[in-house]
């Protein structure tokens, strides 16, 4: 069954070519024979057109079904009952610098994926890995030790994770003149793994600065983390697994003492699992972490939301788990996403040219506030601020989610906040407009089933789009693609706006029906935006 390119060819079409072969008949004849034979009250008519059998849905019946169902099920319209337990890993930062715009994309994806999973009836939990040990962490420590003068976030009145990040940048700057620093960082890691008191004390202090700062940022995104993991607490177990697998002969050892596996058969080459000096690397912890989570949650699926720069890492991780005999490795899924750039070019944390998540949100907040000042200057300040925050978040979420997750994004703040284009604020605005019609009309949902009058084209297309929502939500769930939902929402809003321009609702002889249609629209748009983790506003 195909969807024909134009409405004149019906809503669905069946090409008869496949039958032509089997029946050894001309497909045009098959189409006309079938057209004469089948009928159903679901279809206004079924017509042969050349080799195609075209089906025209009975829109009145569709409208009756769709609107009654939407207004009965409300926020549950389109939902399902799959009942799997799914873990989503996000945003898993390193504790040597604040969250940047890439983490924002990560968090936003995770929150949308969570809503999509829940809407399909799954239990979805967000788990976070804090990568709080390793050479990169030692870099911030060393720079602080050398150049920090015992500064504190309080003394400098600075957000604490930003202070940590400053020293990460400082390290990279100093490294240019003094390459020895690289060795110092490696030595610092050895000391840390050996439990050197001074190193540990400084690490604890700076780590808590980083983590406390993250917490504040998560709050701005309304991110709720169900469980936190810390690399510092799990990496040793990772080491043990590597050594056990060495005993079993699945891991090899080099002359210099490094442990590695050869994954060239899988096309992944050789992979070190423990360095020659005995220290663990990034992947060491991940091996154990997967086992730990499986034991703790016995999940049906585990989705790692991590940038596509780490595709190789996850290919290796999954290959290792398979090699070590864990058959549930097929429940693990790497949801990768593309980089986020600004118009000014690629970001680098080390050089301090990143866009920080906190700054980003603040900038969007003030852009949104400007828009609100322009339109509704007489609102109380508190109300303005609350609306601005929601609008800013909707702008960011929508801008990120409307793009295929694998594609890179060039973020343009002003564009994202526009009320008139394909943006989050435009969708919120359209929603609020529908709600204001209902308020003005003092609309109350009638308890009786909705009567459908003769329908015009704009009403028909609005109803079609509304009735497509469940199928679209399912598709987005199966492919974990929020962009399908974003595109659907935008189309829905546009169709509504066209409908609204060509049909005066209030005062029309069909007012009760039209109000039900507006109510159904606002409900479905709300459901759809919820899947993007975007909260609606009743007034805007």
The answer to whether the CB of 518 falls within 8 A of the CB of 499 is no
Alpha-carbon distance of 193 to 189, in angstroms, equals: 6
CB of 72 to ligand ARG, least distance (A): 42
CB of 98 to ligand ARG, least distance (A): 12
The answer to whether the CB of 431 falls within 8 A of the CB of 537 is yes
Q: Which is nearer to ligand ARG, 129 or 164 (CB)?
A: 129
CB of 318 to ligand ARG, least distance (A): 12
Q: Which is nearer to ligand ARG, 92 or 199 (CB)?
A: 92
The residue behind tokens 């690397």 is 281
Chain positions contacting ligand ARG, by CB under 6 A: 89, 92-94, 129, 131, 286, 304, 306
The answer to whether the CB of 185 falls within 8 A of the CB of 135 is yes
CB of 306 to ligand ARG, least distance (A): 4
Q: Which is nearer to ligand ARG, 27 or 91 (CB)?
A: 91
CB of 158 to ligand ARG, least distance (A): 22
Half-sphere exposure of 248 (CA within 13 A, CB side): 11
CB of 138 to ligand ARG, least distance (A): 15
The DSSP-derived string for 147-216 is: H-TT--HHHHT--HHHHHHHHHHHHHHHHHH-THHHHHHHHHHHHHHHT-HHHHHHHHHHHHHHHHHHHH
CB of 304 to ligand ARG, least distance (A): 6
Q: Which is nearer to ligand ARG, 315 or 510 (CB)?
A: 315
Say which residues have a Cβ less than 8 Å from residue 74's Cβ, sequence separation at least 6: 523
The answer to whether the CB of 303 falls within 8 A of the CB of 337 is no
Q: Which is nearer to ligand ARG, 304 or 477 (CB)?
A: 304
Half-sphere exposure of 458 (CA within 13 A, CB side): 15
CB of 462 to ligand ARG, least distance (A): 43
Residue 163, preceding peptide bond in cis (omega within 30° of 0): no
The DSSP-derived string for 336-396 is: EE--EEETTB---TTTT-PPBHHHHHHHHHHHHHHHHHHH-TTS-HHHHHHHHHHHHHHHH
Q: Which is nearer to ligand ARG, 117 or 129 (CB)?
A: 129
Alpha-carbon distance of 191 to 324, in angstroms, equals: 31
Three-state DSSP at 259 gives strand
**In the numeric block, which tokens belong to residue 39?**
């009928």
CB of 490 to ligand ARG, least distance (A): 31
Among residues 47, 41, 82, 46, the alpha carbon closest in space to that of 65 is found at 41
95 secondary structure, DSSP code: T
The answer to whether the CB of 310 falls within 8 A of the CB of 380 is no
CB of 129 to ligand ARG, least distance (A): 5
CB of 451 to ligand ARG, least distance (A): 55
Q: Which is nearer to ligand ARG, 304 or 337 (CB)?
A: 304
Q: Which is nearer to ligand ARG, 133 or 460 (CB)?
A: 133
Q: Which is nearer to ligand ARG, 43 or 318 (CB)?
A: 318
Helix (H) or strand (E) holding 405: none
Q: Which is nearer to ligand ARG, 94 or 461 (CB)?
A: 94
Q: Which is nearer to ligand ARG, 96 or 430 (CB)?
A: 96
């Amino acid at each position: 069954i195909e969807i024909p390119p134009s409405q004149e060819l019906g809503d669905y079409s069946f090409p008869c070519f496949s039958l032509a072969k089997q029946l050894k008949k001309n497909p045009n004849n098959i189409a006309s024979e079938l057209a004469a034979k089948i009928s159903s009250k679901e279809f206004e008519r079924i017509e042969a057109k050349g080799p195609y059998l075209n089906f025209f849905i009975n829109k009145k019946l569709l409208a009756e079904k769709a609107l009654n169902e939407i207004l009965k099920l409300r926020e549950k319209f389109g939902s399902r009952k799959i009942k799997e337990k799914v873990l989503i890993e996000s945003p898993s930062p390193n504790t040597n610098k604040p969250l940047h715009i890439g983490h924002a994309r990560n968090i936003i994806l995770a929150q949308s994926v969570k809503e999509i999973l829940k809407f399909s009836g799954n239990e979805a939990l967000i788990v976070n890995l804090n990568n709080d040990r390793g050479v990169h962490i030692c870099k911030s420590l060393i720079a602080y030790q050398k150049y920090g003068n015992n500064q504190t976030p309080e003394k400098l009145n600075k957000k604490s994770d930003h202070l940590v990040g400053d020293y990460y940048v400082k390290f990279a700057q100093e490294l240019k003149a003094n390459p020895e620093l690289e060795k110092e960082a490696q030595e610092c890691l050895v000391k840390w793994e050996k439990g050197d008191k001074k190193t540990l004390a400084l690490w604890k202090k700076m780590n808590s600065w980083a983590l406390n700062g993250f917490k504040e940022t998560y709050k701005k995104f309304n991110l709720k983390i169900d469980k936190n993991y810390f690399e510092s607490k799990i990496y040793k177990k990772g080491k043990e697994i590597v050594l056990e697998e060495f005993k079993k002969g699945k891991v090899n050892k080099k002359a210099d003492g490094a442990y590695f596996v050869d994954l060239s058969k899988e096309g992944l080459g050789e992979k070190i699992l423990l360095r020659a000096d005995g220290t663990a690397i990034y992947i060491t912890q991940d091996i154990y972490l997967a086992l730990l989570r499986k034991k703790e949650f016995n999940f049906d699926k585990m989705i790692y939301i991590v940038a596509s720069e780490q595709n190789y890492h996850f290919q290796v991780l999954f290959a290792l788990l398979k090699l070590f005999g864990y058959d549930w490795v097929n429940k693990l899924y790497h949801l990768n996403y593309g980089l986020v750039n600004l118009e000014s070019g690629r970001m680098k944390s080390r050089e301090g040219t990143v866009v920080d998540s906190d700054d980003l949100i603040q900038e969007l907040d003030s852009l949104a506030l400007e828009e609100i000042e322009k339109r509704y200057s007489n609102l109380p300040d508190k109300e303005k601020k609350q609306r601005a925050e929601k609008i800013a978040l909707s702008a960011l979420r929508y801008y990120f989610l409307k793009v295929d997750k694998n594609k890179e994004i060039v973020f343009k703040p002003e564009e994202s906040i526009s009320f008139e284009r394909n943006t989050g604020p435009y969708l919120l605005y359209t929603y609020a407009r529908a709600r204001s019609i209902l308020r003005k009309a003092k609309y109350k949902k009638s308890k009786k089933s909705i009567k459908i009058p003769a329908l015009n084209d704009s009403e028909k297309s609005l109803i079609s789009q509304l009735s497509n929502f469940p199928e679209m939500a399912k598709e987005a769930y199966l492919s974990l693609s929020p962009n399908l939902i974003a595109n659907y929402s935008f189309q829905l809003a546009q169709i509504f706006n066209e409908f609204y321009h060509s049909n005066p609702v209030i005062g029309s002889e069909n007012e009760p029906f039209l109000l039900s249609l507006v109510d159904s629209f606002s409900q479905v748009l709300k459901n759809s935006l919820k899947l993007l983790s975007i909260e609606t506003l009743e007034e805007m």
